[in-house]
Structure 1
Amino acid sequence: MVGRHYRMSDHYEVGREKIREFARAVRGRHRAHWHEDAAWELGYDGLVAPPTFSSIIWPLLQRRMFDSVLTGYDISQVLQTEQRIRAHRPLVVGDQLRCDSYVESFRQVSDMDFMVIRNVLTNQYKELLQTAHTTVVARTDAEVATDLVTAVDGVIMSGEALSHRRDATRRSAGPPFDGGMIECFDEVLPDGGVDEAPVRVPRGLAFGELRIGTELPARVVPLSRGDLVNYAGVSGDSNPIHFSEHVAVAAGLPGVVSHGLLTMGLGASYLTDWLGDPAAISEYGVRFAGFAPVSAIRQCEIEFRGRVKALDPHRRAATIALTASSEGRKLFGRATAQVLLR
């Protein structure tokens, strides 16, 4: 499958209330996520989505790929280890997103399959919006413990158990089942640099305000089981390790843990709030190193910190190194963001 090209067979339309729901889930405080007048002041026609809003789209695309062309894996055993996003322009209300996906590399280590998937977002005008690279690791189904499979099948959303997905691919009645995914053979997608047209003029911090080594103010974010359930509903991430103690323990975890992409989204909000500009992040990448356990009876806390790692006077941009930790656990193995400055 390496090098093959797949596309979601329908587009995803970015909605006003969905942006607000996602901003609430990742603690995005900028007024342009919530109020049209604030977005208009920045030059946009509608609400601006938080930088990681596309984390709704990428898992949706990947699930459809696992439903239609990677059917040998148990979705509950697919773990995302790294996510990198390059933003060519922010997502706004009314964008009709077309999602394309390529398997860029594959390697097998023992009973683990490692895949790097390149995902591309364009809109109804064929404008390039985001390019993302997702690294996932999947256990081969033959090696998955029976008790874990049983635990997952008992709590996962109806229709998403491995046996149900396999049955769906063998449907004989009606039109062929494509899982919402089609393979493409003849269309080349755009592949350009970060768009810095006037609409992207940064409105936040000035370049002259920063120095290499400048420390960002720390932020502590509380997370409860309610926050995890809310994010699961908003993002569509139905992995039961984020709500079922039984499944989490069977998977070898200490208990229910936070979503990696939720932590990544909280980190993006931490940055944009500091910058004062919801569209200032041009590149953002996180290698996930650990999970934050979330008790059923009390909140956990995630602490975010940042430091200016490099400055680019030509682009008036900065590279920020981020850290996230919870109860002494390091959540990010490596996390950096490139941000545009006035």
Structure 2
Amino acid sequence: MVEAAFDVAGLVGYRYRTDDYYEVGREKIREYARAVQDFHPAHWHHAAAADLGYTGLVAPTTFISIAAMLANRRLLETVITGYDVFVQTDQVFEMYKPLVTGDRLVSDVELASVRRIAGKDLLTVTNTFTDQRGEVVQVMHTTIVGLTSADVDAGIGDAIGHVIMHGFDTSSPAPVVNTGGKAPISEPTYSTVSRTRTPCTAPRFEDIAVGYELPARSARLTRGDLVNYAGVSGDANPIHWNADIAALAGLPDVIAHGMLTMGLGAGYVTDWLGDPGAITRYGVRLSNYTVIDAAAAGTVEFTGRVKSVDPETRTAVVVLVAKSGGRKIFGLATADIRLA
């Protein structure tokens, strides 16, 4: 087994803050909503968003992953350099306030933990996003597996270099709070937004109970959808659009982005809710992948069931199941929701 060429566990606590903000744009919201097939009117039309009490178009649940992709690039490409490929396994979104057009987001990036399981390193990266008011709006936890040449074809690095888009500059170091890779020198302090907004959901709390089943829904994905998502999201990993690279990574064919299937799942829930801002937490463990054949569309089938309810807070937890090709692609997926 070839291990990473450095003690990655010694980097736990390494953190930095992005030196520029990410501004949430109207057209980017529409692009992303299209990419994850989320056609809720509040992502597209100002009047529909205003009817729900929003000041601008509302970003889909997983939209923040775009800003995280940009913020994390320095960590994964210039700090943690001992792996050939990263594969996403778990994702958690904590939403304190829905994102709307005009929000300016700054991310604190931290390598929060490293675990070694079955000879592989599982790394969890935490992004804490604050807006122009200095308030925490969302927190995102991403767990990835770092793979070396023992796990994938040794030539994958060179092969990726021949097909990947050029133009990324990751040579300049990130401004870091902890340059030694040890525990942070000082913990940043945050002001967290309280969830005081009253949701405008179609189902009311009184309409549901434990065991309530959401209407099933299917989504179709083609290679064109994967290419579009790669461009919109910034996830340029060629295993999602190049069959030769996918084979070098040990995959049977091109596979859909894990974040794309998560976006479809989140849209499935918010479409039922009627209010894109009614999800407060969304967590997914990826257990399998969606293979997309070059000549035919792939299908992801979603079902959901209410697992628990809390009358005092008018909240509930929904368990999602996603299947493709007869395989469960979500191991455990839950959405915490607030209801009118």
2:127 and 2:140 in contact (8 A); partners too: yes
Matches of 2:120 and 2:78, distance apart in 1 = 20
SS at the partner of 2:213? coil
SS at the partner of 2:74? helix
Amino acid of the residue matched to residue 26 of structure 1?
Answer: V
Matches of 2:323 and 2:287, distance apart in 1 = 10
SS at the partner of 2:81? coil
Alignment match of 1:182 (pick from 157, 160, 175): 175
Matches of 1:140 and 1:337, distance apart in 2 = 33
1:120 and 1:130 in contact (8 A); partners too: yes
Change in Cα spacing, 1:141 to 1:159, as seen in structure 2 (3 Å) is: farther
- CA deviations on 1:251-299 (whole Å, 9 max, x unpaired) are 1111000000000000000000011111110000000011111011111
**Partner residue, 2:141:** 133
Matches of 2:199 and 2:219, distance apart in 1 = 29
1:16 is the counterpart of 2:26: yes
**Partner residue, 1:197:** 196
SS at the partner of 2:146? strand
Post-superposition offset of 1:51: 0.8
1:260 is the counterpart of 2:254: no
Matches of 1:294 and 1:141, distance apart in 2 = 25
2:152 and 2:249 in contact (8 A); partners too: no
Post-superposition offset of 1:127: 1.3
Post-superposition offset of 1:158: 2.3
SS at the partner of 2:261? helix
SS at the partner of 1:211? coil
**Partner residue, 1:270:** 268
- CA deviations on 1:138-165 (whole Å, 9 max, x unpaired) are 12467653232232222122266xxxx8
Alignment match of 1:280 (pick from 258, 278, 281): 278
1:309 and 1:320 in contact (8 A); partners too: yes
Post-superposition offset of 1:191: 6.4
1:111 and 1:143 in contact (8 A); partners too: no
Change in Cα spacing, 1:290 to 1:110, as seen in structure 2 (3 Å) is: closer
Amino acid of the residue matched to residue 102 of structure 2?
Answer: G
Alignment match of 1:155 (pick from 155, 163, 171): 163
SS at the partner of 2:176? strand
Match runs of 1:1-342 below 5 Å: 1-74=11-84, 77-109=85-117, 112-140=120-148, 145-158=153-166, 169=171, 177-178=172-173, 181-184=174-177, 185-186=185-186, 188-190=188-190, 192=192, 195-198=194-197, 200-342=198-340
- CA deviations on 1:233-258 (whole Å, 9 max, x unpaired) are 10000000000000101111110000
Post-superposition offset of 1:205: 1.6
Matches of 1:230 and 1:71, distance apart in 2 = 28
Q: What TM-score do the two structures reach when normalised by structure 2?
A: 0.90
Q: Which moved more, 1:148-157 or 1:288-297?
A: 148-157
Amino acid of the residue matched to residue 71 of structure 1?
Answer: T
Matches of 2:77 and 2:250, distance apart in 1 = 25
Post-superposition offset of 1:103: 1.4
- CA deviations on 1:282-322 (whole Å, 9 max, x unpaired) are 00000001111101111111100000000011110110000
Matches of 2:36 and 2:25, distance apart in 1 = 17
Post-superposition offset of 1:186: 4.8
Post-superposition offset of 1:93: 0.3
Matches of 1:144 and 1:111, distance apart in 2 = 14
Residue segments in structure 1 that go unaligned for 5+ positions in a row: 170-176
SS at the partner of 1:320? strand
- CA deviations on 1:75-105 (whole Å, 9 max, x unpaired) are xx11110000110000000001001111111
Amino acid of the residue matched to residue 320 of structure 2?
Answer: L
Post-superposition offset of 1:61: 2.0
Post-superposition offset of 1:203: 3.4
Q: Which moved more, 1:136-145 or 1:328-337?
A: 136-145
Post-superposition offset of 1:26: 0.9
Matches of 1:240 and 1:257, distance apart in 2 = 10
Matches of 1:238 and 1:310, distance apart in 2 = 38
Matches of 1:118 and 1:153, distance apart in 2 = 28
1:116 and 1:133 in contact (8 A); partners too: yes
